[in-house]
Amino acid sequence: MLLDTKPFPDYRFLKLVGKGASGHIYKAIWKPYNKLVAVKVLNTKASKNQRARFLREVKAIARLMHPHIVQIFEVDISNACYYSMQYIDGCTLDPVIKSPKYSIRAKVKLLLKVAKALHYAHGEGFIHRDIKPQNILVSRKGKPLLIDFGFAKNKANDVLVTKEGTTVGTPLYMAPEQALGRQNLLGPQTDVYALGTILYQILAGRLPHNKKSMIEIIRAIVYETPPAPRELNPEVPEALEAVCMKALEKSLETRYRSAGSFADDLDQWVRGSKLEHLTGNSAINLPKVSDEDEDGDDSSEVEVPVAPDNEGFWSRVWRLVFGWFPRRGASPPRGREKARPRRG
C-alpha cells in the first residue's frame, strides 16, 4: 500500500479497497474512536475539475443530514485532501434490482426510502443530477444510502458552474432537459426522472431505452416514449406502472413535481392504498401489508450478503462521496443529527 500515512495521524490504514481517477479509497480504523471507516484520499495529481467536484461535495454534504444519505465523519481540504465516511458492508442497488431473489415490493421499498432522502436534499437546495443504482449503496441489513453528490447543483449558489448546453450526469438516467444541456431547467423533477428510470428497471427488467450509442440514447430520451412496463412484464402491477410512467414524462408540466410526491405514491402502493388519481380504476388489487417497517425501523425485506472485500468490488461500490465533520476532538456522532458542521 503506497501511501504516506504521516498526514493521517488519526487513522490506521488496513488496506486499499478501491481506486479511481481522482484518488484511492482505504479501509481504516479511526483511532480516536476505534471506528471502522472508509477513507478517500484525493490524488495529488487530481485535475482542477476533480478538486472542484470535491469542494462541491463538501458544501453539499455539510448540510445534508439524513438516515438514508451516507454519513460523513471527517474532511480535510487544507492539507492531504481526504474525507472519511461509513464503511458499508453490502453492494450497490444495481445487483439488488437485477436479482430475481427479491420481490418487486421489496425493491420498491428501497427506492421509496431513497426518494424520501432525495426530497430532503431538494428541500435543502441541492439537485443531485446523477441518480443511478451505482450511486445508491445497500447495506448488509438492507438499508439504502444515497451517495455521490459530486455533480450536485446548489439552486441558490451554484450559478453558472455548469455552462448552458453542457450535459452532466449519466446518459442512461438523464431527464430530457438534462440530456439537452438545459441547465436553466434542471430541478427536483430532473432527479425524479432518474428515480422513474430505476423504477422502470425494477418493473421491466431493463432500461427504458436500449440503445448503443450516446447519440441514440439522448435522441430516445428526448423524443421516444419507452414501452410500458406491463408490455415487457405482464405481472407488473398497473398502479406501479402508472407511477413509473408519470415519473418518466418528458414534459415538466406532467411529470411528478417533487420526489416527495413520487415517494407518496410509492408509499401508498406499498401500504395497499388505491391510486385512483393515476389509474382511474378503484378496483385495482394492491398488496396488503403491515406497518412494521416504518422509516424509523431499518428492517427490510432485502438482506444483502457481505461481498468479497477486494479492489474490484469496492471500486464499483464507492464513488466520490465527500462531506464535513466538526472540528477534531469533538465527540463522535451517534446519528446524523449530531454530525452538524461547525459554522463560521
- CATH number reported for the structural domain that contains residue 66 in this entry: 3.30.200.20
Answer yes or no: are the C-beta atoms of 107 and 202 closer than 8 Å.
yes
143 vs 157, more confident: 143
Q: Are the C-beta atoms of residues 28 and 11 closer than 8 Å to each other?
A: yes
Per-residue confidence band for 70, with pLDDT thresholds at 50, 70 and 90: confident
What DSSP designation does 67 have? T
Distance CA 178, CA 255 (A): 14
* pLDDT > 90? residue 266: yes
Within this chain, do residues 82 and 114 fall inside the same structural domain, yes or no?
no
Alpha carbons 266 and 195: distance in angstroms, whole number: 11
User: Do residues 174 and 192 share a domain?
Assistant: yes
Q: Is the pLDDT of residue 344 over 50?
A: no
What is the pLDDT, as a whole number, of residue 1? 52
Residues 96 and 191 in one domain: yes
Tell whether 187 and 83 lie within a shared domain.
Answer: no
Higher pLDDT, 323 or 210: 210
CATH of the domain at 237: 1.10.510.10
Over residues 284-314, the pLDDT tens digits come to 333 333 334 444 444 456 766 544 444 333 3
Q: Are residues 78 and 135 in the same domain?
A: no
| Confidence at 279, pLDDT banded by 50, 70, 90 | low
pLDDT at 263 over 60: yes
Q: Which phi and psi angles does 47 have, rounded to 5°?
A: -75, 170
Name the catalytic one among 10, 76, 130, 264: 130
Mean pLDDT of 274-291: 49
User: pTM for the full model?
Assistant: 0.77
Cell digits of residue 79? 492539507
The residue from 259, 279, 299 where one domain ends is: 279
Is residue 25 situated within a structural domain?
Answer: yes
The residue-averaged pLDDT of 70-90 equals: 84
Please tell me which residue, 168 or 78, carries the higher pLDDT value: 78
Average pLDDT on 69-93 reads 85
Distance of CA 140 to the CA centre of its chain: 17
The reply to whether 183 and 121 lie within a common domain is yes
Residues 18 and 54 in one domain: yes
pLDDT in tens, 4-54: 788 899 999 999 987 766 778 899 999 999 999 989 888 877 788 888 777
| Together in a domain, 28 and 56 | yes
Higher pLDDT, 288 or 229: 229
pLDDT at 152: 67
Question: Is 157 a domain residue?
Answer: no
In this structure, the answer to whether residues 255 and 204 fall within a common structural domain is: yes
pLDDT, residue 324, reads 35
* 147-170 residue pLDDT tens: 877 666 666 555 434 444 445 568
130 is catalytic: yes
Both 97 and 80 in one domain: the answer is no
- Co-location of 84 and 96 in the same domain: no
Residue 117 is predicted with a pLDDT of 96
Q: How many domains does the chain contain in total?
A: 2
In a domain, 151, yes or no: no
Asked if pLDDT for residue 109 goes beyond 90, the answer is yes
Domain boundaries, position 196: 92-142+164-279
